Structure 1
Amino acid sequence: MANYIDGFVFPILQKNLNAYRDVAEKVAEIWKEYGALAYFEYVGDDLTLEGTRSFMDVLEAKEDEVIVFGWVVFPSKEVRDLANKQVPEDLRMTTLVAPLTQPERLIFNASRMVYGGFQALVKSNE
Structure 2
Amino acid sequence: MYVAVAALSVPEENREAYEKAAAFMADWSMDHGAIEVMEAWELDVPNGKTTDFRKAVKAPEGEKIVTGWVIWPDKATFDKANEAMMRGEGFENHEAGDMPFDGSRLIYGGFEPILTRGRKDHG
**Superposition deviation, residue 44 in structure 1:** 1.6
Of 53, 56, 65, which residue of structure 2 is paired with 1:55?
Answer: 53
TM-score (norm 2): 0.85
Alpha carbons of structure 1 residues 28 and 93: separation in structure 2 relative to 1, 3 Å: farther
Task: Specify every segment of 5 or more residues in structure 1 that has no aligned partner in the other structure, as ranges.
Answer: 102-106
Q: Which amino acid aligns with 1:13?
A: P
Residues 1:110 and 2:103 are matched in the alignment? yes
Residues 1:30 and 2:28 are matched in the alignment? yes
Residues 1:5 and 2:20 are matched in the alignment? no
Bigger helix share: 1
Number of equivalences? 118
Alpha carbons of structure 1 residues 49 and 64: separation in structure 2 relative to 1, 3 Å: closer
Paired residue secondary structure (2:65): strand
**Superposition deviation, residue 125 in structure 1:** 1.4
Task: Specify every segment of 5 or more residues in structure 2 that has no aligned partner in the other structure, as ranges.
Answer: none
**Superposition deviation, residue 48 in structure 1:** 2.0
**Superposition deviation, residue 93 in structure 1:** 6.8
Q: Deviations over 1:22-49 (max 9, x none)?
A: 1211221111111101111101211127
What percentage of aligned pairs have identical amino acids? Answer: 28
Q: Which amino acid aligns with 2:44?
A: D
Could you say what the CA RMSD is over the residues aligned between the two structures, in angstroms? 2.0
Structure 1 stretches of at least 4 aligned residues deviating more than 6 Å after TM superposition: none
